[in-house]
Structure 1
Amino acid sequence: MNKAEVEKLLERYRDGLCTEAEKALVESWHLSEMAKTPSDLDHADLIDARKQIWSAIEEETEIRSGNKYTLWLKLAAAAVVLFFIAFVIRQQLQNQITNSAQITKTTEKIIEPGGNKATLILSDGKKISLTDATNGVIAKQAGINITKTSQGALIYTIAAATSEKAQNNIYNTIETPRGGQYQINLPDGTKVWLNAESSLKYPAVFNGGERKVELKGEAYFEVAKLANKKGARVPFKVKSDIGNVRVQEVEVLGTHFNINAYVNEPSNKTTLLEGSVRIKNLQSNVSQLLKPGQQSVINAASPMVVVKDVDAEEAVTWKDGYFSFNEENLETIMNKIARWYNVEIDYRGNKINKTFGGRISRFNSVNEVLDMLQITGAVHFKIEERRILVMP
């Protein structure tokens, strides 16, 4: 048939003027076209339809069995319907089985995110698991109470008058494992958010002309202002010494900033959100002053302190519960994933020279984070126990 003949046939069918043979032809063609599109009928509807068709066929064979040609056409049309229904039922059952298998398989491989986990190491060497410790006062030393809050934070408060001599040289260390983070309120009121696989060493009491702490890993600081007995501001210093000629000191008076100083990253990065800080490369004594919205970079290949403008908020999204990738290379991203989900990363095949961008909650499973990266088509992942295979 040409186009005009088809249109005329469809018009006759619509007006109820088709012969039985023409009607069967149109219905057979329509059903075969339907078979090409997905169906959202449920199984009960399809099975019920099949029963109704068979009932209709049985009635037709009894009432009009004399017209063999018409009967043959009707049976042919019905056969198409039955084939289509059987096909859809089979496909839907297969899809359900496949989806069920995939869900089961995925469920076995789901890797959950990290949480508030840390260990407090007191000056006498005693270790307290902050993950398992009950809320309330967990330790006392030199007139200082150390309290764990229900929000998963650590607070230092002065409980009794004690001589400065007794308080001097008392240093505590808080460490977070892979898959852990923790917040601590230091004795001077400074708030510190410690990221995964990091440590902070600090005095139980800040005496003297400066406040000094030591950081390895990543932390966000909100430094409290503190004045000495003469009314002068007491500076707050953060030292990061992770070897490989990467030693820096950050000096502030009262400000908000983030330090990223991991051993397996190529550089130390300090990002300023509020106030002002001075960054010093202790290998060369070169220093730079940062303004809000700027980031300093120190690496082993250069004695300089490189300063650049950045979106400072992007650097601290981890504190607020997000991964934020802003044109980052894959290795840096996978380092973040490894630390937070406590997984090993195994690269297979050629190196993937591509940067990625996007934002996703750190409290999603690792599977969802990997899916976000994988949708680009530039990288593929396979999870084996707690190992993630990275492939082009």
Structure 2
Amino acid sequence: MCVEPQKLLYTYRMTREEYNSLYEKYLAGKCSIQERIDLENFQDSFEFKGQEWNESLMGNSEEIKESIQEDLFNSIQEHDRSRVFRARRWYSAAAAVLILISAGLYYSNRSAEPVLVKTELPRFKNDIAPGKNKAVLTLDDGSTIDLDDAKNGILASESNIDIKKTGSGQLEYTAGAQGTKTVKYNTLSTPKGGEYQLLLPDGSKVWLNSGSTLRFPTAFVGSERIVELNGEAYFDIAKNSKMPFLVRTNNAMDIKVLGTQFNVMAYDDEKNINTTLIEGSVEVLKGSGKTMLKPGQEAILNRGSGNIKVASADLEQAIAWKNGYFIFYNENIESIMRKVSRWYNVDVIYQGNLSNKDFVGTISRNKNVSELLKMLELTGAVNFSIDGRRITVMP
């Protein structure tokens, strides 16, 4: 198939941080004369990021690189702070692909219509800081402890179990010397814009993502260790062959392990429940059915059909939130904005047709929301406005 190349946005062989910083300064009109010269004259080599080059779709890579370099220099010389890069276009029956290398993003438009790539900075009425360690602990008697306000140290004791807040945004449960046979239940809840870590009394570790709850006993007794999850959590389970660990997800399915590391995404507003195995082994239980996972696999339960599919997992993407990143891979804007809504504690509304637009990219979760939205806007596929804690998404 003969196709015409589309111009790509890209980065040269500076570090990504150096290039992004300098380019954003230029867009904002804050470059010094020397910085502008550096940007214009920088002619080192660059690479296309993260995706295998498909020559039949994208054209000759060397020709594309040459046209990119020429377009950048022309755009810098000919346009001021508010610029529009017009794109040469790939045409194919399947897709037209726009790649934003400097932000680690590209946008795939499943229609084959031309794309006008706008790179002017958006105007927002306000900005919103990222989430942080924030959670509420509900004790067995129904009383609550706001962990934001609580001082470090022992917060409470239940049935010879000490509940302690550490300085690292972590809650620890420690059994006294006499142990306990009395089972009491606590619930750890993270609001939108919150996350927290939990050390269970058996030594298992849990990372709880924003907008999530975990109900668990203050001590594990009997033949099983059972917790109940709504939302998303990463588990690092202490081994105990005599007492399996079970994660129950809103009565939808159970995840049974002996000692392993895995991630469970079970938000009510997602159509699937995903269980991703990092190491060890996991048994996914749904009704009378059982599905075994190997490391690097994920079980995907479709809430509508009740069917479970096992597939190879992108481990980096699955646990990106735990490591402080958003990682998108062929992800539509609605899915991305659900994550944004949870982490930044914002409401999201949509205007216009935003279907058939998928994104790939990696962005830190430690940035203000405006920086994330600006990166997405640079693809030319989507625009945003911010008013208070409301984000409007527009074509």
Tell whether the structures are fold-level matches, with TM greater than 0.5.
Answer: yes
Contact residue 284 and residue 292 of structure 2 kept, 8 A? yes
Structure number with higher helix proportion: 1
Structure 1 residue 163: deviation in Å?
4.5
Structure 1 residue 40: deviation in Å?
6.7
CA distance in 2, matches of 1:320, 1:163: 35
Q: 1:120 to 1:346 in 2, by over 3 A?
A: same
Letter in 1 for 2:225: R
Structure 1 residue 376: deviation in Å?
1.0
Structure 1 residue 114: deviation in Å?
0.5
Contact residue 140 and residue 146 of structure 1 kept, 8 A? yes
CA distance in 2, matches of 1:155, 1:310: 31
Matches within 5 A, 1:154-303: 154-164=171-181, 167-168=182-183, 170-226=184-240, 232-241=241-250, 247-282=252-287, 285-303=288-306
Gaps of 5+ in 2: 1-30, 35-79, 83-119
Match of 2:352 in 1: 349
**What secondary structure is seen at the aligned counterpart in 2 of 1:363?**
coil
Contact residue 281 and residue 298 of structure 1 kept, 8 A? no
Q: Which runs of 4+ in 1 moved over 6 A?
A: 39-42
1:118 aligns with 2:135: yes
The alignment yields a C-alpha RMSD, in angstroms, of 2.3
Letter in 2 for 1:142: S
CA distance in 2, matches of 1:187, 1:386: 38
Structure 1 residue 41: deviation in Å?
7.2
TM-score (norm 1): 0.69
Letter in 1 for 2:214: L
Matches within 5 A, 1:1-392: 106=124, 109-164=126-181, 167-168=182-183, 170-226=184-240, 232-241=241-250, 247-282=252-287, 285-392=288-395
Q: 1:197 to 1:40 in 2, by over 3 A?
A: closer
Q: Deviations over 1:210-245 (max 9, x none)?
A: 10000000000000012xxxxx53100000016xxx
Structure 1 residue 160: deviation in Å?
4.2
Structure 1 residue 289: deviation in Å?
0.4
Structure 1 residue 384: deviation in Å?
1.3
Q: 1:291 to 1:40 in 2, by over 3 A?
A: closer
Q: Deviations over 1:350-384 (max 9, x none)?
A: 13321111111101011111111111111111111
Contact residue 352 and residue 378 of structure 1 kept, 8 A? no
Larger radius of gyration: 1
Structure 1 residue 310: deviation in Å?
1.6
Q: 1:144 to 1:349 in 2, by over 3 A?
A: same
Q: Which has the bigger relative contact order, CA under 8 A and spacing at least 6? A: 2
Letter in 2 for 1:288: T
Structure 1 residue 110: deviation in Å?
1.1
Letter in 2 for 1:377: G
Percent pairwise identity:
48
Q: 1:163 to 1:188 in 2, by over 3 A?
A: closer
Structure 1 residue 325: deviation in Å?
0.7
Gaps of 5+ in 1: 1-38, 43-91, 96-101, 227-231
Q: Deviations over 1:134-174 (max 9, x none)?
A: 0010111100111100001001111241551xx22x00000
**What secondary structure is seen at the aligned counterpart in 1 of 2:167?**
coil
